Each structure stands twice: as structure tokens, then as C-alpha cells.
Structure 1
């Protein structure tokens, strides 16, 4: 079995990294759906929107800029970056132990 540095070592580190990456992916997917004007009545779009709203609740109204699409990209993008950076840094720190 071949192991990569991402999953080698402490399995908790791998779980932390995957959770952070999935959170960032969901937020990024919502940004893409918003920019492409996805049908918000669609069940999948609503699920992604609700999950992204919950994950980015702390940053959703951080900046009040115009136009609206820029506000969504900026505020949700900050949350996605924080999940990626902090989550993967935490995973690296846990992996060392």
C-alpha cells in the first residue's frame, strides 16, 4: 500500500484535512452556483446554499460591498480560504505528534 504525506502518520490529521477541504469545497461550490445564477429552487442548490451559509456564517456579512456578486465572492471566499489554511495547518501540526 502506498501512503502519501497527506495520509501518512496520525489518522486524525487526515480527518482534519479532509473536513477542512470538504468545507472549502462546499463554500466554493456555492460561490460558483451563485455566479452562474443557479436555480435556487433546486434541491441540490438549496442544500449547498444552506451548508455554505452555515459554514460561512461568521464571515457572510464581514464586508458590505457592491455589486452583490463581489460581496458573495469576497465574504464566502474568505471563509473557504480560512478553512483551507487553518484546517490544513492544524492537520500538519497534529501529524507531527
Structure 2
């Protein structure tokens, strides 16, 4: 594999992994009746809503997937979404008080 193809492969793989991360975030929000767009906006108030997030919300089927809080936090942090992980942590704390 030459360098140009390798770089394209790495970028494409990262984008696919990012889509999975966003889908997991949206699914977690659905599981707990939370608005993923609202949480994203709280985490990143200066940014426009991500097109990847919009697509994931539109494609969400509402079927519950068993996804632990810790798994979601780990995935978000792995992708450097520390601000979103912080907002999710706040929501987890609220959920645990119910």
C-alpha cells in the first residue's frame, strides 16, 4: 500500500469509527429519553450541529441497545470528545438520582 492510499484508508477508517461513536451517543440518549442535539449543543455551544450527528439522529430506529454509561464515556474520551463526555457525565449523575 503506498502512502497516499494508506493516508486515505486511515482517514476513511477514522470517519467510519467516528460515525459509530456518534451512533452510540445517539443510541444512549434514546435509551434514556434525552435529546442528543441538545446535549451536543451544551457541550459545544460555539459549533453548529454536526452533520454526522444529524444523520445519526435521523437514522436512529428507537430500538434499545444495551449500552453502559462507562462504555459511552470511554468511547467519547477515546475520540477526544471530553466536553461531550462531561455533559454526559452530568446527565448520568442526574439519572442516578432518580
Q: TM-score range by the shorter chain?
A: 0.3 to 0.5
Q: TM-score, normalised by structure 1?
A: 0.39
**RCO comparison, higher one (Cα < 8 Å, 6+):** 1
Larger Rg: 1
